Amino acid sequence: MDSFQTIIETEYVLMPTWKWLALVLVILLFPILRRAIQHFLVRVKNSHFISKNQNIFIAEVTRTEIEKPLAWILALMIFISVLDMLAFPKNIDKYGTLFAQILIGFRWLQVLIIAIDVVSVHWSQRVNDPQGHPNQIIPFVVKATKFFLVILGILIVLQNLGINVVSVLAGLGIGGIAIALAGQETVANLFGSITILVDKPFRIGDYIKVMDVEGTVIEIGFRSTKIRTPINTIVTISNSTVAKEKLENLSARHKRRIRHTITLSYDTSTEAIRQFMKSVNDFLKTHPQVDHDDITINLISLSSYSVDVQTTFFVDSPQVSVENTVQQDFLFQVLAITEQFKIDIAYPTQKLLFDLAPPPAQPTNAPT
């Protein structure tokens, strides 16, 4: 107890006042120094030489905020140098330096992650397929690399804190079985993502249908795939589900089929029905976005309330927006043709028959 009290008095209580003031001043000036360095780095990044450089890699770097972690690193290095010059007590110097080194490591990790993002963008622009689709393996590799760097950074921090990393890894090895059992679903999703990347049943940007969900693929991750639906919501489906369920890649179609059944009234004459079918066919034959060689118009049935004409044709585009536009043109033209030939569109009806005959007279009893 006496020795501890002696250390406290020697290292802290008896430390010169000017050193305490210097320590407080260094801490207060640190944010100002960091901002000044960051401002200088921004000016360098936006300088005439950098902004006019045609190198794609440098151009991508200038679009990032790499100056923020670099400013932290330089300011922390100056902070460590000041601690050494002022010769603070060893505990202050030790723990202050250790804290600064951990922060420097964290900021270097940020710099590496930014560099990985820049390299991935540069790489993606060079390895896209001939149709311009992004390479799906690159985002997967980028995420795996970032994950590895974060784990490595954590291990380095633990090592600097005096923790035996080898013992930690050995402990993880012993608990690996329990982790594997608890993370079966995660492992299944990981293998599902690998299956998607290798088999390539769809790409980012494709319009797919999985179970009762359909929409545009916006992200393929380690664990799940994100789909933006036609109503602009985002649905997340686990990769294990995507890999094992029935999947339709609607973007793989070169054409999109449109089929409609038009129900005409029984009051329509046979000649009017023929004219209607011919007019619809003529319209589709002249539409610029319809496959003119694959149009089918048939009288398919005489239902209980209508004469049914079925029209099937294909749109020369895999895009949903084009399909919707052509379908709208078609329906407007159908309404115009029915107005031209004075044809009524049939709808389900029901006839009710009422007996309007007067009720039979009731016999009356004679008065007594």
Residue 364 CB coordination number (10 Å): 6
Question: Rounded CA gap, 22 and 351, in Å?
Answer: 99
User: What's the pLDDT score for residue 1?
Assistant: 46
Tell me what pLDDT residue 364 has: 63
The reported pLDDT for the residue numbered 21 is 79
pLDDT at position 309 is 94
The structural domains of the chain, ordered by start, are 10-174 (no CATH), 187-252 (2.30.30.60), 256-340 (3.30.70.100)
pLDDT number for residue 255: 84
**What pLDDT was estimated at residue 221?**
78
- Helical packing angle, 137-160 and 184-199, nearest 10°: 140
- The pLDDT score that the predictor gives to residue 69 is 83
What's residue 331's pLDDT?
A: 95
Q: What is the DSSP string of 217-236?
A: EEEE-SSEEEEE-TTS-EEE
**Owner of token pair 């001043």:** 25
Q: What's the per-residue H, E or C state across 283-316?
A: HHHHCCCECCCCCEEEEEEECCCCEEEEEEEEEC
Written as tens digits, the pLDDT of the chain (368 aa) is 444 444 444 555 556 677 777 777 877 888 888 888 888 888 877 765 555 555 555 656 666 677 888 888 888 888 778 777 776 666 666 667 777 777 877 888 888 887 777 777 666 655 555 555 555 666 667 777 777 777 777 777 676 666 666 666 666 555 555 555 445 666 666 667 777 777 778 888 888 888 888 888 888 877 788 999 888 899 998 888 888 888 888 877 788 889 999 999 998 999 999 999 999 999 999 999 999 988 999 999 998 889 999 999 999 887 778 889 999 999 999 999 999 999 999 887 766 666 666 666 666 665 55
In the block, residue with structure tokens 């029984």: 266
Q: Is 73 exposed, middle or buried (0-12, 13-18, 19+ CB in 10 A)?
A: buried
pLDDT of amino acid 263: 93
In this structure, the number of other CB atoms found within 10 A of the CB of residue 346 comes to: 19
